[in-house]
Structure 1
């Protein structure tokens, strides 16, 4: 269980955020509040604080020096900055200190909770939880459909305004013991949209086929509940008890992503049906099953932005809904990524260019720059360099009479052979073959 410390001289802000966190399904032990940096340092020294949420300026003092002290006292602590101060210099300095996110006031609640959840999901806490919950072990999911009654109940839990029972009996009757849950949502393309005339019974059989593939893959290794909706969707709720969650749990997001990739591949291979997998975060408590569904739905929708990708984890996504657009446009991290893109677009043809060069010119660490760039653009940073180089080399081959080695040199490759290898991997044919096709 986690200990969180909030430092802000606005007591109303700390009170509101505390209440928000307590009702967010997080595995928390204590939330401490300090109204000065000095008080915050006392908490850091006295308690095992896992996450610090702090303003950049408290009681007229700039928090950069205090954050450096905090990192010296406890290097493993994670930090999220919540501030009305959105200067680029502060954001750069915060990044150098390893701050995980820099959120601008006024806060959007969902963005704040997503940021906190994502930080906590990747913490590796080895000390025992204060409370132990004893729940039945469910090692295998029986390969059979839920009764119609259970099917309706499971779908009712995902409704926009679900009626949540006050006791545990309904959840346990459905096999939901928890207390930790994640959801994988499979959304596939109905065959009728591909001009194939199917009866309603055929469509039900298709839905059943998708569900059975999901059950075959999941049930041996995961404590899970699999059920269908009426919209060409299959939902898989993965659950963990306290003991299994705390045992190597920091690797669970990677495992869920691997599971999503496996589901997509098998459905595509054996049923030849286009499908997308959305994966939620891991939340604690029955009452957050609806939130898992919301997150998995939003993850699936990310396919419309990146149609060449089919598995999406909600925690990796930067949302740009109308509600968050203005908020995110003020985010200094977005300014860093924009500057990096401008730099790469100007110098991608420079020989010997490296990620370290790009990071140094923009005053951030290579690892953190790669993380920010991927999260904001969907591309790995070096993939973006290659993309620009390949597009320019294609234009040069189409529009000029330059030789292969000349094209390679113009787009930043010292070796014509290496350029040809990258070009063939990117376009499927060599530069000379491409040139011949245009003749």
Structure 2
């Protein structure tokens, strides 16, 4: 409901407007009437109506002068003039004070209704506009953190591209970033996957909020600046570096500033570890003299922090950390791959561990190709182990799942040392599985050889005969038997023959030549020499001692 004050020096007009117009039907409440300009102005300032319906020509204070005063005292009021046909000059003067409309006397109810409906509609439109502006202001206030973060993200990623950055800083309530020099810190959460994946979205946001609170609080204690989350697990701090008062030594001042910033970085690392039990790696960029150069400082800080891949986690890393004395490249060559395959096939865990230590030690200095190459090299080692499992008929569904899990975990490792530990552990498991099967298979082969010799020792056996009996090559059988038992095939064959000869010699009825032939010897003299070598006694002396 809009409010209205009527000012007119003619009683008949006031009476008619008061009694015969249905104001509520027009959405208007009559707030009061006055019969001259002075009284009307006082009433209007007291009631502060939305609409003023006033005569133009009145004694004491006419409508025109009253309107002029209202423009400065109550500018929101809508003024509608009432004028006689012979007051044209007054009306022209009145319209110059921006009255919204006018009505000629005698007043037509229809014309009055049309004019006031237009006024009410305009008031409603202005109200809606004010409400809309108010809502937008509230939304702007609510979205200020988002706008500020968007600006900061752009500042470190693309730079500040505006002709008047100071105005932007003031609008976003970032005027404290006006400084002589700037520097960027990048704080990376270590073990990001293990830290974040088990958490709900709410817990992730709470953790991020706590991290930013700690960083911001420590910044405020040391210097001025602002911290924000760039991506999950990556927090960026833009710090202002104020000039020192006085004329101190430039190098001394720079050293003091650097020490202060490193101390801040250490405080951030230590407090996040103490209060949130988080390990973080912090990269420190170099100073820059312009806001436009923030992307360079950010890039330096990010690259420094990424050196934890080589140098380890929970560290403060500067641009100097990226310098490497030995920049030679190391790549997995064919001979290295063959060595890995050979050690895996042989089940040689100790040799494999030593070889892997050498490979990863060289990869530490392999910074030129970048992180991707080292991950690819490590995954190539996993592929080689899969090849060995396939060759040994060991590649079960369980091993396939374990290999897939290693691939997934390898892509999440944040340091080369962590990657080495993961790959080494897996390859040693493969090595153990291959070795276990190899030992089981070898044991079976040895048993078959011993059984064959036990059954055929009376024959004139050769290495080729024994190998054919177990379906293997003579060379492999000879090497395998020696490796597994410590004896040659013929040493074992001789031992079996002598042991059988001892049993036969216990029967005094058995002739010496019969014993010789029974254990595979055709020459008794040769048999006697072999027997004595093995037992220290001749066959006859052995028999006599047993009697």
Identify the TM-score tier after normalising by the shorter chain. 0.3 to 0.5
TM-score by length of 1: 0.37
User: Which has the larger Rg?
Assistant: 2
TM-score by length of 2: 0.30
Larger proportion of helix: 2
